[in-house]
């Protein structure tokens, strides 16, 4: 495969080691943890803890004993956990809307803003800027602007004679607001990938089409879009994974509410781990999210496999 396998390994090693240490290993630990649960009857456990404190061992016992419980955490999720199912629906709705809309907006922006004149490059920078701001800052600022009582957006709505909206306070609008914030923040970023992809398309294709009398829109439809398939595929897959793992805006703006309307799986897993102190359920959820992202990515890669190579 490699002409110099040793050199390849040496060059890849740092990235592989870091990937293994910070991505693969935690994922594996999490999957392992999802097969663990509470075992001994807690009365006995609390006595054991009392004894261990007396012996000076302290937190070593740290709560009821854990043991291997097989797939019972998963069984519970699938058979008798309506909160999990609600959360799964919210996550799917979020991804199913946020990902295609982001890709469409990013592609649209790329078409509008390709080219090298000054005005376009200024606009490109403006579109890219939101993605350079930390998601936490974005969330806080949008939270202020969307405040139902004193926010800027409602002031604007009132100024043009429209009724004020509850936005993040409404179980029907909150998820849509989060999607809009995600699209606003991420479209400029993915636009850059499309612009890069467009630059990779050979000029000759356009010249030949122009000679044959194809209009600009025909060229876009028959040349640019088919030849961008590889980029679209990459952006769609990355963006779907990214949206599936959304946490910060939910944590900062809605805490999963109102009435669980924005309770995405990653946030539910976080709550389960650090508030419910139920690591088994938390890691089972995160393992399922991991599996879902893998499956979705494979499906998207297959569906968007490019028909044309160049």
Partner 1 sequence: MKRAIALSVVIAALALISLPVLGATTLEVVWMGWPKNLVDAQIEGFRKAYPDIPVDIQLVPFNQLFQTLEVRLASGHAPDVFIVDGPLTASYATRGYLLPLDDVFTETELAAWFPSSVAACRWNGRLYAAPYATSSVGLYFNKTIFRKYGVALPSENPGERLTWEQAAELARKLTIDENHDGQPDTWGLILEQSDRPYQILPLAESRGARALSADGAVSEGYITSPAFIEAATFYSKLFNEWKVSPKGLLEAPVAREYFGCGKAAMMLGAEWNISRLAAFKDWEFGLAPHPYFAGGRAVTPTGGWNVGIGSRTANRDAAVRFLKFITGRDASIAWTKLFGNAPARRDVYAALPDVFKNPMWQVLLHEMDTTASPRPVTPGYLQYESILKDAFNAIQFGADPASTLESAARQIDRDLAKYR
Where do contacts with partner 1 occur on this chain (CB under 8 A)? 38, 42-43, 46, 49-50, 52-53, 57-64, 82-83, 148-149, 154, 158, 163-164, 166, 168-171, 255-260, 271, 274-278
Q: In the complex with partner 1, which residue's Cβ is closer, 279 or 293?
A: 279
Residue 219 is encoded by which pair of tokens? 């060229």
Q: In the complex with partner 1, which residue's Cβ is closer, 45 or 214?
A: 45
Question: Do 208 and 126 form a contact (C-beta atoms < 8 A)?
Answer: no
| C-alpha to C-alpha distance for 6 and 102, rounded to whole angstroms | 41
228 Cβ neighbours under 8 A, 6+ residues apart:
107, 194, 197, 198, 201
Give min distance, CB of 25 to partner 1, in A. 16
Q: In the complex with partner 1, which residue's Cβ is closer, 277 or 299?
A: 277
Give min distance, CB of 126 to partner 1, in A. 31
**Phi, psi (5° rounding) for residue 305?**
-60, 130
List beta partners, residue 68: 36
Give min distance, CB of 63 to partner 1, in A. 5
Give the largest CA-CA distance in the chain.
89
Give min distance, CB of 169 to partner 1, in A. 4
Q: In the complex with partner 1, which residue's Cβ is closer, 197 or 280?
A: 280
Q: In the complex with partner 1, which residue's Cβ is closer, 52 or 238?
A: 52
List beta partners, residue 212: none
Give the single-character DSSP code of 114.
Answer: -
Give min distance, CB of 58 to partner 1, in A. 3
Q: In the complex with partner 1, which residue's Cβ is closer, 189 or 267?
A: 267
Would you give the end-to-end CA distance of the chain in angstroms? 23
Question: Do 175 and 93 form a contact (C-beta atoms < 8 A)?
Answer: yes
Could you tell me which of 157, 145, 152 has the C-alpha nearest to residue 253? 145
Helix then strand then coil, in percent of the chain rounded to 5, is 75, 0, 25
Give min distance, CB of 65 to partner 1, in A. 11
């Amino acid at each position: 495969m490699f002409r110099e396998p040793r050199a390849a390994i040496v060059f890849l090693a740092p990235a592989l080691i870091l990937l293994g240490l910070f991505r693969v290993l935690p994922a594996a630990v999490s999957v392992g943890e999802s097969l663990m649960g509470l075992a001994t009857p807690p009365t006995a456990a609390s006595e054991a803890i009392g004894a261990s404190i007396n012996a000076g061992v302290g937190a070593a016992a740290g709560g009821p004993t854990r043991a291997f419980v097989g797939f019972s955490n998963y069984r519970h999720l699938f058979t008798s956990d309506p909160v999990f199912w609600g959360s799964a629906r919210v996550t799917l709705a979020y991804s199913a809307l946020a990902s295609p809309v982001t890709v469409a907006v990013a592609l649209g922006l790329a078409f509008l803003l390709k080219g090298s004149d000054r005005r376009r490059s200024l606009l490109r920078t403006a579109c890219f800027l939101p993605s350079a701001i930390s998601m936490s800052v974005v969330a806080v600022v949008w939270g202020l602007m969307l405040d139902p009582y004193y926010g800027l957006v409602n002031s604007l709505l009132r100024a043009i004679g429209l009724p004020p909206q509850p936005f993040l306070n409404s179980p029907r609008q909150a998820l849509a607001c989060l999607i809009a914030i995600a699209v606003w923040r991420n479209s400029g970023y993915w636009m850059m990938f499309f612009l890069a992809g467009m630059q990779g398309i050979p000029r000759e294709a356009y010249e030949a089409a122009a000679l044959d009398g194809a209009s600009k829109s025909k060229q876009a439809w028959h040349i640019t879009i088919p030849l961008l398939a590889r980029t679209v595929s990459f952006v769609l897959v990355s963006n779907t994974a990214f949206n599936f793992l959304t946490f910060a805006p939910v944590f900062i703006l809605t805490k999963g509410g109102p009435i669980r309307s924005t309770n995405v799986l990653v946030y539910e897993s976080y709550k389960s781990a650090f508030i419910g102190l139920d690591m088994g359920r938390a890691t089972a959820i995160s393992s399922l999210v991991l599996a879902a992202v893998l499956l979705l990515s494979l499906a998207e890669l297959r569906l968007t496999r490019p028909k044309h190579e160049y």
